[in-house]
Amino acid sequence: MRLVFMGTPDFAVPVLDAFLKAGDEIAAVYSQPPRPAGRGQKLTPSPVQAFAEQHGLPVRHPVSLKSADAQAEFAALKADAAIVVAYGLLLPKPILDAPKHGCFNLHASLLPRWRGAAPIQRAIMAGDLETGVCAMQMDVGLDTGPVLLREIVAITPRMTVSELHDELVRVGAPLMVRAVHGYAKGQIQPQAQSAEGVTYAAKLLKDEGRIDWTKSAIEIDRAVRALNPGIGTHFEINGERIKLLAAEPVAGSGAAGTALDDTGKIACGDGALNLLKLQRPGKTPVAIGDFLRGLPLPKGTRVG
């Protein structure tokens, strides 16, 4: 098939690779423009753009697809289909209608649960026992189009967002190839999403990373596993911002945000949390033992 691929982050790269290995022609790759990154704030191409350029694929990164010129350039590609994976721009109806078979999206949830921007993180934060991937035909709504294929992935008790991300893309890349090829051959019929069970995975906000010790230890642990890496989770000790990179919920009780002993066990609104891996400003991440040698947390210490 002659395809346009539209994606930006690491999650999208294996999907592009899968279509290349399937023998499809990639007429163009659309990705978000290079962004400043690193200490030098050097303009850095997205993972999809970097991969595409390594494989000699033409890359475009318009800031919008709303203009008549951008839509005409897209239509001129005369694609059989467009594959969209975490691209970052809304597709207007003229873009959706341009390819012969339409536009298809790989979404990292079991639709209609967790429509929206952050389905992987929200599934972990909500304590879901399973999630998955859906290959869907796009329409003008937010992740509302009919689903071609889906696959369930279990969320294990200690799974991190990185681990779940990798498992979803592992099953999602070949799923997307099967779905799009099957649809083009008339072998797969899209199924409308259920009107029941709709939830929205809102974009993550930086202030969600500030730990609220009045929440349960289980809730805080889920946030730590869901938000690292990413916006991260943090708290303060004597005005110093400490990143919490790993923790585990344990039994314990006391005033929320108070050290219950000198080993890094902090009372929560319900239960307690063992701090496992932390990072001070300007320092490298360390395990709790090394952290406490530099900044002890005696019993009764209050953290914020």
Q: Which positions make up the binding site?
A: 109-112
- Can you tell me which residue has the tokens 């869901």? 226
Spatial CA neighbour of 13 closest among 87, 73, 89: 87
Q: CA–CA separation, 178 vs 201, rounded Å?
A: 26
Binding site feature residues for (6S)-5,6,7,8-tetrahydrofolate: 109-112
Q: Which helix (H) or strand (E) holds 180?
A: helix 161-184
Q: What angle do CA 4, 5, 11 make, to 5 degrees?
A: 170
Spatial CA neighbour of 98 closest among 114, 74, 118: 74
Structural contact between residues 234 and 304, judged by C-beta atoms closer than 8 angstroms: no
For the chain, the residue count is 304
Dig out the tokens for 239 from the structure.
């005005």
